[in-house]
Structure 1
Amino acid sequence: MIATYGFNITLTARPGTGDRLVDLLLTGLDESSPGASEHCMVYLLSRSASNPNIVHVTGGWTSEEDHHRFFAGEAAQALMARIEPLLAKEPEYTAHVPVRGKAAF
């Protein structure tokens, strides 16, 4: 399978809650979470080098439809509900069309 839909999202946590945000996002690799979906080709978390409360998520999915279908589901909605109170502002989301690359973690 290859990724035909991707995104980057920047999340800014409330001061002092960056570690908690990262911990919750890492549960995205657990069974029934985004990173465990057969349609998720890339699930990468990064932190800002200058601000530990800024977290970036990069995702690559087999299709935009698979991505939206998964995030409309109960498990993803529950994760988002736990993340939302930690955020200092609205997430910055950018959709992408993957061309080519490599992911080896």
Structure 2
Amino acid sequence: MITHAFFVRLEAKPGKEQAVADFLTAGLEMTNRETTTPIWFALRLSPTTFGVFDAFASEEDRQAHLRGNMAGALMARVDELLASPPSIEPIDVLAMKNQLS
């Protein structure tokens, strides 16, 4: 059961919007290797604002994600890509529907 999540807000530096989009798109491969991250979305919220929503079965899995390759790769590029550090918000999942058509 999915009960834990993160919402991460990323604000691109001027001129780095496409680089952030490309980084997040490429991040799918890294995140696919994380066995404790079953749900991961990369989002564009506005021309300069991006987000990541990922969800987990436990607090331990959520913390493991923070130590994973994707998080490490993002933090290594914060100064290059982002106008400010990412806003990382832990959230609780109250209910979920996951149905592919």
TM surpasses 0.5: yes
Map of 1:29 onto structure 2? 28
Give yes or no for the alignment of 1:46 onto 2:43.
yes
Aligned length: 99
Pair 1:45–1:60, CA change in 2 (3 A): same
Map of 2:57 onto structure 1? 62
Pair 1:93–1:8, CA change in 2 (3 A): same
The Cα RMSD (Å) is 2.1
- The alignment's TM-score, normalised by the length of structure 1, stands at 0.77
| Per-residue deviation, 1:34 | 2.4
The residue type paired with residue 49 of structure 2 is I
- The alignment's TM-score, normalised by the length of structure 2, stands at 0.80
Maintained 8 Å contact 1:9/1:93: yes
Maintained 8 Å contact 1:35/1:42: no
Identity across aligned pairs (percent)? Answer: 28
| Runs of 5+ consecutive residues of structure 1 not aligned to the other structure | none
